Structure 1
Amino acid sequence: MSNEIRISMQKLIGKGYADYVNFKGRYRVCKGSRASKKSKTTATDYIKKMMQYPQANLLIIRKTYRTLKDSCFAELKWAIHQLQVDDEWQVKESPLEMTYKPTGQKIYFRGLDDPLKVTSITVDKGVLCWMWIEEAYEVLNEDDFNMLDESIRGSAPEGLFKQITLTLNPWNERHWIKKRFFDAENDPDILAKTTNYLCNEFLDDADKRVFERMKRDNPRRYQVAGLGNWGIVDGLVFENWEEQDFDIKELLQQRKYMKTLFGLDFGYTNDPTAFFAGAVDENAKEIFVFDEIYNTAMTNKMIYKAILNAGYSKERIRADSAEPKSIDDLYGLGLKGIMKARKGPDSVNNGIQTIQDYKIIIHPSCVNFLTEITNYTWDQDKFGKKLNRPIDGFNHLMDAMRYALEDIKGDLFSFD
C-alpha cells in the first residue's frame, strides 16, 4: 500500500462484518435487508484489499450494465473518498473503470447483457482473482453464474486468493442461491451470511421508525426487507412467464400486427415510480416486456425526462388515475399521449384475469419486472387463507402493466 489508509474500516462501516471481510474462501455470499450496510461494506473492503494486494484485479457484475453506474460504481467512489485515497485512484466513466495508480491494478465493470465482454477480459497487471456480483438475486439462471464462476480460474500468486462475492436482497426462497450456498453444509469454501438494519449503528431514530412502521403495517415484508430473511413465496399471481432474450425491433417487424403498450404507476419516497413498456401479440396470446423505468424520488420533470430519453415520449401511456395532477403536469411537459387509467369495481382482479390468459415473455434487462413477478402473490388472512386480492407489495410494475393492457380489448375494461 502506497500510504497507510488513514481511516479504519470499523470507523467507516461499523461492526457486524468481521467474518465477512476476513474470509478468504471462494464464495462469500451476503443476503441482507435494506440499510444492512452490505454494499458499502463490500465496496470499502475491496478498495482496501486492492491497495493491500498489488497483483489483484476486480470484476464487478450486475445483470444489466446500465445499472452499474448508480450502484457499485457510486459505492466504490464513496469508499475511495471515505478512505481519503482519491489521489491514488483514476476513475473513468466511459467506459466505467477504476485504476489504482501506484500499481496499475484495475476494477472492471460488466453486465450480463453482454456476455462476450464478461468472458473476454484480460488484465495488464497481475491476475483477475476477485468478482463482486451485486444484486445477485437478479441472476435467475444458475447457468449464468456458472459461466462467471468459470471465468475466475487459474493459479493465484502466493499470498493471493480467488473469491466471488454475491450480495443480494433475499426476496424469494426458491432462488438457486439459497440451495447452493445457504443450504450447503460445512463447506470451507462458502461463507453465507445474513445481515439486517439492526447491525447498522449509523441509522438515526427516523430511519429506525421506517422499519418499525414496516414491522407493524406489513409484517410479511418486514421479514425480508427488515430482517433479511428469505421471502416465502406461495401463490404467485402470474405463473405463465419466462425470461428470454429478444430484439423488440425485429419482433415488431416480423409481427406487424402487434401492439406496443405503455403504463405508468406513480411513486415517490418509499415506492418507486414504475414505467412499463410491452408489446402484445393477441393471436399467439403473448405479452413481451421489453423495457422499464423504476426509481424512487422521481419528480414529474424527472419522469418526463426519463421517458423522453428512453424514446417513448410520443407514445400513448396509461397512468395511475389516482394522481390527476401528475398526469396534467406530464401532459404539460410534453407527454401528449398520457391519459388516466380506467378504474372501477374489481378493476384489479379483472385486469389480472385478462393478463393470466397470456404468456409473459420478459427481456433479461427488465430486472425490476423480473423481481416483482417472482414475488407478486395473492394475499392471506391471519389464518393463512388465500384472499381474492394480491399483496400490496411488488406491485408497481405489475400495476403499470395492468394499466397499459387496458387497451388490449376495451370491452374487458369497461369500469367507468
Structure 2
Amino acid sequence: MTVAEKEVNPHFEDFLFDWNQKFQFLVGGYGSSKSYHVALKIIMKLLEEKRTALVMREVYDTHRDSTYSLLEEIVEGLDLSDHIKFSTSPMKVKFPNGSRIIFKGMDKPAKLKSVNNVSLIWVEEASEVKYTGFKELIGRLRHPTLKLHMILSTNPVGEDNWTFTHFFKDELNKRFVLDAEQLYEEKSVVVGDTFYHYSTADDNLFLPLDYINQLEELKDYDPDLYRIARLGRFGINGKRVLPQFAVQEHQKVMRSILDIDNPIKKVGMDFGFVDSYNAVLRMAIDPKKLYLYIYWEYYDRDKTDDVTVEELKEFKESQERIKADSAEPKTIRYFRDQGFDMVGAHKFKGSRLQYTKKVKRFRKIICSDRCTNTIFELKDLTYAVDKQGNIIEDEFKIDPHTFSAIWYGLDDYEVADLKEQAKEKARTRPRRERR
C-alpha cells in the first residue's frame, strides 16, 4: 500500500510524530489547521498500529460535517480511499490492518457503555464538552497492551471553562499547572504527561490572506471574538459587570478601612443549601471616595440552619446587623430566635437590576485576597446575553452568591450616581463673584 506524500505546516511537524505523553492539548485561533493535523496524526497512527480510536464531540450529529468529513478528505488526499473505508450508518472508518475509528456524542452517553478497548480518543471542540464528560472519557480510555492517548483540540473560550481550569489554572481550588502566557510565547510546552500546542492562523501557510484579513477586522467590532478567533487566547468572554473590581493584600485592605473617616460597615447574606451556597460578606464603605471594601467572607453549602448558626456565632456575639434574602422568612426568623440581628432586604420587581446598578456606581470595589470565593465569582463576572447577543442587565453567566450578598448588605445604602454627584458638587461649590 503506497501512501501519497502530504505537505504539512511546519509548526505541526513535531506534534504529528510525538506520542510521548498521554494527553495532548491543542488550543488556538480559527484557521490554524489544528483539527486537520490531529486528524492526519490519527490516520498515520492507525495505519502503523492496530487500534480503536474514538472521536468525540458534545453533539453526535455535528461529526458528519466536521471530523468525519475532514478524515475522509485527508484519506482521499493520501490516495488511500481504496484501502480505508468510510460508512455513514453509523459513522465509522475501517483500516486494512483492523484499526477502526468510531464516532460518539456526549449527548448520547448510553452509547459510550458499549465502547471497549479504546486506546486513542480525540475530543474535538473540547470546550463544548462538559467536564464530567471529559472525566468519563478518561475512564473509557483503556487497553491491555497499547499505550493510551487522548488528544483534545479547541478554540479558547473564557477562563471559567473547564479546559482552562483543568489544563492551566484553577483559582478557586488553588491549582496551578501552566501559565497560559508561557504557552502563547513558546508555542509548545510539555508539563508532566501533557503536551501543549498553541497555534493561530499565522501558522497555517495554506490559508488565504483574505481570510486572515477578515479575522483582523473583528478587532474593530467584536473584541471578544477577535481574542478567540485571531489571537487564539483564553480570557473573559462578554462584558464585565464590575470592571472596577480589584484584589488587594488583606492587610492593605484593612489599613485602608482604618484610614476612612466614619466608615459605613455592612453585612449581607444570601441563603443556599444543596446546589447553592450560603454567602456572607463583611463590607466597609468609604462614602467620600465611593469605595466599597470587601474584607471577610463565609461561603459554604449543604449545611442545616443549626450548623450555619453555630459557624456564624460571632455575629450573634457582635450583634452586627445582617441584611439577608427576604425570600427566606423562616430562615431569618430562625436566626433571630437564636439571637442574631438579622432582617430581610427589601426586594421588589426589578430589584435585581436596581441592586446591580447601585453596586456599579462605586468608583472602586476592593476585595481582600482572603475572600477567594468572592474573587472567583466577581473578578470576571459577565452579563448573560439573549439570542440576538444583547446584554441582559440583571442576568449573569453564573449565579454569583457573593454578588447577592452585596445586594442585600447594601439594601439601605444609596450610592449617588454621576448625575447626583455633579449636582452635589454644584451645590457646595462657592459661587463666583460677579465682576
Q: TM-score range by the shorter chain?
A: 0.5 to 0.7
Is 1:181 the counterpart of 2:181? The answer is no
Alignment RMSD (CA, Å): 3.1
State the match for 2:226 in structure 1: 222
State the match for 2:118 in structure 1: 128
Cα separation, 2, equivalents of 1:74 and 1:400? 36
Is 1:205 the counterpart of 2:209? The answer is yes
Cα separation, 1, equivalents of 2:205 and 2:152? 23
Deviation at 1:235, TM superposition (A): 5.0
Of 89, 92, 95, the residue aligned with 1:97 is 92
CA separation of 1:22 and 1:395: change in aligned 2, threshold 3 A: farther
Deviation at 1:177, TM superposition (A): 1.4
Deviation at 1:79, TM superposition (A): 1.0
Contact 1:156/1:162 (CA < 8 Å) preserved in 2?
Answer: no
Of 78, 83, 88, the residue aligned with 2:83 is 88
Deviation at 1:234, TM superposition (A): 6.3
Letter of the 1:86 partner, please give it.
S
State the match for 1:155 in structure 2: 144
Letter of the 1:74 partner, please give it.
S
State the match for 2:196 in structure 1: 192
Letter of the 2:149 partner, please give it.
Q
CA separation of 1:91 and 1:400: change in aligned 2, threshold 3 A: farther
Deviation at 1:182, TM superposition (A): 3.1
Is 1:145 the counterpart of 2:134? The answer is yes
> Secondary structure at the residue paired with 1:193?
strand
Contact 1:28/1:164 (CA < 8 Å) preserved in 2?
Answer: yes
* 1:14-56 deviation digits (Å, cap 9, x = unpaired): 2211232233211111111110101111111111211111x21
CA separation of 1:400 and 1:175: change in aligned 2, threshold 3 A: closer
Contact 2:63/2:103 (CA < 8 Å) preserved in 1?
Answer: yes
Aligned residues: 242
* 1:319-350 deviation digits (Å, cap 9, x = unpaired): xxxxxxxxxxxxxxxxxxxxxxxxxxxxxxx9
* 1:83-103 deviation digits (Å, cap 9, x = unpaired): 110101111111111111x22
Cα separation, 1, equivalents of 2:98 and 2:119? 15
Contact 2:60/2:107 (CA < 8 Å) preserved in 1?
Answer: yes
Cα separation, 1, equivalents of 2:29 and 2:381? 18
Deviation at 1:395, TM superposition (A): 6.2
Deviation at 1:397, TM superposition (A): 5.4
Contact 1:28/1:191 (CA < 8 Å) preserved in 2?
Answer: yes
State the match for 1:166 in structure 2: 152
State the match for 1:39 in structure 2: 35
Cα separation, 1, equivalents of 2:391 and 2:69? 29
State the match for 1:325 in structure 2: none
Cα separation, 2, equivalents of 1:398 and 1:216? 17
> Secondary structure at the residue paired with 2:67?
helix
Cα separation, 2, equivalents of 1:396 and 1:19? 41
TM-score of the superposed pair, with normalisation by structure 2:
0.51
Contact 2:54/2:102 (CA < 8 Å) preserved in 1?
Answer: yes
CA separation of 1:76 and 1:174: change in aligned 2, threshold 3 A: same
* 1:136-189 deviation digits (Å, cap 9, x = unpaired): 11113x2221110011124334xxx21001111111111121122234256331
Cα separation, 2, equivalents of 1:29 and 1:399? 33
Cα separation, 1, equivalents of 2:118 and 2:200? 31
Is 1:6 the counterpart of 2:4? The answer is yes
Contact 2:224/2:238 (CA < 8 Å) preserved in 1?
Answer: no
Letter of the 1:225 partner, please give it.
A
Letter of the 1:150 partner, please give it.
G
Letter of the 2:4 partner, please give it.
R
Q: How does 1:386-401 map to 2 (within 5 A)?
A: 396=387, 398=389
TM-score of the superposed pair, with normalisation by structure 1:
0.53
Cα separation, 1, equivalents of 2:159 and 2:48? 37
State the match for 2:237 in structure 1: 233
Contact 1:129/1:156 (CA < 8 Å) preserved in 2?
Answer: no
> Secondary structure at the residue paired with 1:128?
coil
Cα separation, 2, equivalents of 1:135 and 1:44? 17
Of 25, 29, 47, the residue aligned with 2:25 is 29
CA separation of 1:376 and 1:118: change in aligned 2, threshold 3 A: farther
Unaligned runs of 5+ in 2: 170-176, 179-189, 242-349, 357-379, 393-435
Letter of the 1:169 partner, please give it.
N
Cα separation, 2, equivalents of 1:399 and 1:151? 40
* 1:54-85 deviation digits (Å, cap 9, x = unpaired): x2111011111111111111111111111110
Unaligned runs of 5+ in 1: 238-349, 357-374, 379-389, 402-416
Q: RCO (CA 8 Å, sep 6+): is it higher in 1 or 2?
A: 1
CA separation of 1:398 and 1:211: change in aligned 2, threshold 3 A: closer
Contact 2:9/2:204 (CA < 8 Å) preserved in 1?
Answer: yes
Letter of the 2:24 partner, please give it.
R
State the match for 2:107 in structure 1: 113
Query: Structure 1 runs of 4+ off > 6 angstroms?
Result: none
Cα separation, 2, equivalents of 1:395 and 1:52? 49
Letter of the 2:102 partner, please give it.
Y
Larger radius of gyration: 2
Cα separation, 2, equivalents of 1:66 and 1:400? 30
Identity %: 25
